[in-house]
Amino acid sequence: MKEPKEYLGHFEEIVLLAILQLKEDAYGAKIRQKVSEATERDVSIGAIYATLDRVERKGFISSWQGESTPERGGRAKRYFRVEGAGMQALNDTNARRNKLTAGLDLGFDAA
């Protein structure tokens, strides 16, 4: 053990956090909605999936097929979950930032 730490890109981090927030209900469309809300910006669905796929390839999250929406129908959902490696990356990314934020007097919390 002594692998170089894996850090997350800015948007990758955002997406992982959104999945955690959504818990059992994390699928593409909902994740997009969550991210848009939090960032107060329109985010394209393509942006979401491209990131999701990339992060899954790295083993930070996993996905599986779900069902379609009961009342209205439509295509089946693809659910996502953050894996251990993903939590680790989130942690490392946060630690990296915290080290540089410590002792700084910013306008916001520098936890």
- Measured CA to CA in angstroms, residue 11 lies from 14, 43, 72, 73 at distances of 5, 11, 31, 30
User: In this chain, which stretch among 50-58, 60-68, 69-77, 103-111 interacts with a second copy, using CB under 8 A?
Assistant: 103-111
> Please, what's the largest Cα pairwise distance for the chain?
53
What spatial distance separates the first Cα and last Cα of the chain, rounded to whole Å? 29
Among 18, 34, 51, 61, binds DNA (CB under 7 A): 51
Residues 64-93 that bind DNA (CB under 7 A): 68-78
CA-nearest of 63, 79, 65, 73 to 25 is 79
Written as one string, the DSSP assignment of 56-76 is: HHTTSEEEEE---BTTTB-SP
Using the rule CB under 8 A, is 32 a contact of a second copy? no
Among 17, 21, 49, 85, binds DNA (CB under 7 A): 49
Q: How many other CB atoms are found less than 10 A from the CB of residue 7?
A: 15
Residue 18 touches which of a second copy, DNA, none (Cβ within 5-8 Å per kind):
a second copy
Interface positions with DNA (CB under 7 A): 7, 9-12, 27-29, 41-47, 49-51, 54, 68-78
Interface positions with a second copy (CB under 8 A): 4-5, 7-10, 13-14, 17-18, 20-21, 34-35, 38-41, 87, 90-91, 93-101, 103-104, 106-109, 111
